């Protein structure tokens, strides 16, 4: 078989594979043979075995082109050493010196060079996303006249694309060193997904820590971007396993993700899954079902989210052409003291301000937003903190105002921080006309079992604040109706209004019929807003703390004595105890030193005066704290879009603000 034919290379590769088959540490690619050994003695044995096999097949090698006993070697565009694999410096330099593409053809050429080393770049798809958008709607399959014309069109670069181009070069310059796979080592797959791309890292456990073997990233198409976070995270696991299946097949490994619901993916009811989810889960289950949750800060993929770095050589060139710098250089009245200082991380000199004693580079116009993103995106501090953080390291005219505007426009900050949002006045209840006409009902529990009781039915009168706490064994509507009738109604009569939460037992047909029979109007508070039933919720807080303070597991025995203390305690807003509002006098406590039997009996005039005073009692509205000031942002009158809080139960650390026009 002569070289030059279309299938010559494949034929020769099959022949070389046959020659080297079964030889330890020998890897062949066409006419290049690599021998990897742990030490010189083993390397000598590997060479001896290889030479014997070549002699058996009648093959000769060119000694002048061979390298023996090297600790590091360049092979197929990569530098191989005992530490791992990394890109060749001269190849990387070609990418770093590549000028900004002006046409689609030049852009495809740059992306082709970048993608050769893509496996070394974490989050490569995220970095290239603003650049790859230029290729949308264009095809290079048919060399028609129209496609050639489109390929020669000038690209319209924006700020995001330029930053992505610089970030891609910096990512190549700081490419991660990939470790050599260790046979039998524990493997783990770390995955992550964002709104625009997915990524994964295949790692192995070595010396107590996970080391990366390979990276994977892929941009999502338009339909995939509309998927839920759960679906995107599941797709990232599916795609990563599909990418690394040749290394994962037949091996035990763990899958780490920051999407906690995925750890229950194989335990849920299949009827809840969509057909696409079932397909993905079926493929994943063929390799592993060990999905584990890891916090975002500990996820090595999420933690490897690309940080925008500054190209200081380009920074220095931009300083020479910046008009603001020229003005300050020729302005003797300026407080800035501009001097050239050597850059510690690059072989160039930067124009810095030394007036504060610490050299601060003067930032040209084109790098200001990049510097802000680099520092602000670390922890997304506020205006004052961001200003101090950046001004301590860099300087440019009007930087405080610019930083203030950029922080205010940071979408991540607006969606994640609850600051000075618009507040509306709290709703108010109409004051009751008399005692025991308006009551609040709620349930506490489940509590530790005590004499067969697990829950507490709590009732409080809105007028007098008189509390009741009734131990009950369950939360059935029948049990609740019986407890209310036997305790509250038998003592104080039927209320006119009853307020409760959205509990299913308080919305049942039995409880509705019970309140209808009593002639009681039932009021349900807003879901997930216990503040609407705050009077009884505050009573729960006092009740639970009192039970815990007694340090007695039999809480059902303590309820009565605790209620005695609560009923006799003076309330600040009423300036009296609830027992005084109900009985006209306070209750006698076990520690009282005066015996009421020694007090002379009262006459009829006292009884008449007491009745007159009781009739003059007026209800006192419940106090509302921190509601004296309500804030409405003046920009609401001219804003086209706002963020709305989606008021429902959310997972921890989930952003609750969404766009609304």
pLDDT per residue over 376-432, tens digit each? Answer: 777 777 888 888 888 888 888 888 898 888 888 887 777 766 656 666 666 666 677
pLDDT over 70 percentage in the chain: 76
State the average pLDDT over residues 360-382: 81
What band does 308 get if pLDDT is binned at 50, 70 and 90? very low
pLDDT at 53 over 80: yes
Report the sign of the C-alpha dihedral through residues 505, 509, 512, 514, in that order.
negative
To the nearest whole number, what is the mean pLDDT of the chain? 76
What band does 450 get if pLDDT is binned at 50, 70 and 90? confident
* pLDDT tens readout for residues 586-621: 776 665 544 444 444 445 555 555 556 555 555 555
Query: Could you tell me which residue, 4 or 654, shows the higher pLDDT?
Result: 4
pLDDT at 91 over 70: no
Alpha helices in 487-529 (DSSP H): 490-492, 509-518
Query: Could you tell me which residue, 72 or 91, shows the higher pLDDT?
Result: 72
pLDDT at 445 over 50: yes
The answer to whether the 89-135+154-174 and 438-591+602-616 domains have the same CATH topology is: no
Euclidean distance between CA atoms 514 and 507, whole angstroms:
11
What band does 199 get if pLDDT is binned at 50, 70 and 90? confident
Please give the pLDDT value at position 367.
83
State the average pLDDT over residues 159-176: 73
Run of H or E residues at 47: helix 40-57
What pTM does this model have?
Answer: 0.37
* pLDDT tens readout for residues 530-579: 777 777 888 887 788 777 776 666 777 778 777 877 777 776 666 677 77
Helix (H, G, I), strand (E, B) or coil at 545: helix
Q: Does domain 89-135+154-174 have CATH number 3.20.20.330?
A: no
Q: In the CATH hierarchy, which top-level class contains the domain 181-298?
A: alpha beta
Find which of 28-37, 83-92, 167-176, 582-591 is predicted with most confidence, using mean pLDDT: 28-37
Two tokens at 307?
């940080």
Domain residue spans of the chain: 7-69, 89-135+154-174, 181-298, 312-415, 438-591+602-616
Euclidean distance between CA atoms 80 and 355, whole angstroms:
48
Q: What is the SS3 string spanning 385-438?
A: HHHHHHHCCCECCCHHHHHHHHHHCCHHHHHHCCCCCCCCCCCCCCCCCCCCCE
Please give the pLDDT value at position 599.
44
* pLDDT tens readout for residues 113-166: 777 766 677 767 777 777 777 777 665 554 444 444 455 567 777 777 878 787
Structural fold of domain 438-591+602-616 = Nucleotidyltransferase; domain 5 (3.30.420)
What band does 626 get if pLDDT is binned at 50, 70 and 90? low
pLDDT over 90 percentage in the chain: 1
* pLDDT tens readout for residues 464-473: 788 888 888 8
Run of H or E residues at 50: helix 40-57
Please give the pLDDT value at position 569.
74
Please give the pLDDT value at position 616.
54
Q: What share of the chain is helix, strand, coil (3-state, %, to 5)?
A: 45, 15, 40
Cβ neighbours, 10 Å, residue 89:
11
Sheet holding 467-472, edge to edge: 467-472, 455-461, 438-444, 497-500, 521-524
Find which of 10-24, 589-603, 644-658 is predicted with most confidence, using mean pLDDT: 10-24
DSSP codes, 97-149:
TPPPP-SHHHHHHHHHHHHHTGGGSTTHHHHHHHHHGGGTT---SS--HHHHH
Residue for token digits 């009739």?
Answer: 615
Query: Could you tell me which residue, 653 or 479, shows the higher pLDDT?
Result: 479
Q: Are 216 and 201 a contacting pair, CB within 8 Å?
A: yes
Backbone angles phi, psi at 330, to 5 degrees: -105, 15
Euclidean distance between CA atoms 220 and 216, whole angstroms:
13
**In the beta sheet, which residues pair with residue 468?**
459
Query: Could you tell me which residue, 40 or 421, shows the higher pLDDT?
Result: 40
Please give the pLDDT value at position 532.
72
Please give the pLDDT value at position 581.
77
Euclidean distance between CA atoms 467 and 564, whole angstroms:
10
Structural fold of domain 312-415 = Endonuclease III; domain 1 (1.10.340)
Q: Are 261 and 234 a contacting pair, CB within 8 Å?
A: no
Please give the pLDDT value at position 659.
59
Please give the pLDDT value at position 147.
47
Please give the pLDDT value at position 221.
84
Cβ neighbours, 10 Å, residue 559:
19
DSSP code of residue 608: H
Of the listed ranges 103-112, 513-522, 593-602, the least confidently predicted one is 593-602
Report the sign of the C-alpha dihedral through residues 635, 636, 640, 646, in that order.
positive
Two tokens at 197?
């791309």
């Amino acid at each position: 078989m002569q070289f030059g034919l279309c299938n010559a290379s494949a034929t020769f590769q099959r022949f070389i594979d046959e020659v080297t088959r079964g030889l330890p540490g020998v890897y062949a690619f066409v006419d290049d043979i690599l021998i990897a050994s742990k030490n010189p003695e083993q390397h000598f044995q590997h060479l001896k075995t290889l030479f014997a096999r070549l002699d058996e097949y009648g093959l000769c090698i060119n000694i002048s082109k061979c390298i023996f006993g090297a600790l590091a070697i360049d092979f197929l565009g990569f530098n191989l050493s005992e530490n791992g694999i990394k890109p060749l410096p001269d190849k990387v330099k070609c990418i770093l010196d590549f000028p900004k593409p002006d046409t689609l053809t030049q852009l495809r050429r740059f992306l082709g060079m970048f993608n050769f080393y893509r496996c070394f770049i974490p989050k490569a798809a995220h970095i290239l996303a603003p650049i790859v958008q230029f290729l949308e709607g264009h095809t290079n399959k048919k060399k028609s006249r129209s496609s050639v014309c489109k390929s020669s069109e000038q690209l319209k670069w924006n700020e995001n694309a330029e930053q992505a181009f610089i970030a891609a070069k910096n990512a190549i310059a700081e490419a991660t060193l990939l470790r050599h796979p260790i046979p039998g080592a524990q493997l783990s797959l770390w995955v992550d997904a964002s709104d625009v791309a997915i990524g994964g890292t295949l790692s192995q456990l070595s010396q107590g820590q996970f080391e990366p073997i390979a990276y994977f990233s892929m941009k999502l198409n338009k339909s995939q971007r509309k998927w839920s976070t759960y679906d995107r995270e599941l797709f990232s696991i599916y795609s990563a396993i599909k990418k690394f299946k040749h290394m994962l097949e037949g091996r035990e490994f763990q899958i780490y993700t920051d999407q906690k619901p995925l750890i229950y993916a194989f335990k849920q009811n299949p009827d809840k899954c969509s057909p696409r989810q079932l397909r993905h889960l079926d493929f994943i289950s063929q390799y592993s079902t060990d999905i584990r949750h890891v916090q975002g800060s500990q996820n090595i993929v999420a933690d490897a989210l690309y940080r925008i770095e500054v190209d200081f050589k380009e920074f220095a060139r931009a300083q020479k052409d910046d008009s603001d710098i020229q003005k300050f250089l020729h302005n003797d009245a300026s407080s800035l003291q501009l001097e050239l200082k050597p850059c510690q991380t690059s072989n160039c000199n930067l124009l810095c301000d030394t007036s504060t004693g610490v050299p601060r580079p003067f930032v040209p116009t084109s790098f200001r937003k990049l510097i802000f993103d680099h520092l602000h995106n670390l922890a997304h501090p506020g205006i004052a903190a961001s200003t101090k953080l950046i001004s301590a390291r860099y300087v440019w005219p009007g930087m405080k105002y610019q930083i203030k505007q950029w922080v205010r426009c940071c979408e991540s900050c607006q969606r994640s921080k609850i600051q000075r949002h618009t507040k509306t006045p709290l709703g108010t209840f109409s004051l009751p006309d008399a005692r025991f006409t308006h009551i609040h009902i709620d349930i506490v529990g489940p509590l530790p079992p005590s004499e067969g009781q697990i829950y507490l039915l709590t009732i409080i009168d809105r007028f007098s604040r008189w509390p009741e706490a009734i131990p009950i064994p369950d939360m059935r509507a029948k049990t609740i109706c019986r407890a209310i009738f036997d305790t509250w109604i038998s003592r104080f009569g039927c209320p006119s209004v009853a307020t409760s939460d959205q509990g299913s037992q308080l919305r049942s047909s039995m409880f509705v019929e019970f309140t209808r029979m009593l002639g009681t109007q039932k009021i349900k508070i807003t879901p997930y807003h216990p503040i609407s039933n705050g009077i009884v919720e505050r009573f729960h807080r006092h009740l639970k703390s009192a039970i815990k303070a007694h340090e007695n597991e039999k809480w059902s025995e303590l309820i009565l004595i605790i209620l005695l203390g609560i009923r006799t305690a003076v309330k600040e807003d009423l300036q009296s105890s609830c027992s005084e509002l109900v009985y006209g006098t306070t209750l006698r406590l076990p520690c009282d030193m005066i015996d009421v039997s020694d007090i002379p009996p009262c006459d009829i005039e006292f009884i008449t005066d007491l009745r007159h005073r009781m009739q003059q009692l007026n209800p006192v509205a419940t106090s509302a704290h921190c509601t004296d000031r309500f804030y409405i942002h003046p920009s609401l009158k001219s804003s086209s879009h706002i963020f709305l809080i989606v008021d429902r139960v959310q997972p921890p650390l989930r952003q609750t603000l969404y766009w609304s026009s």
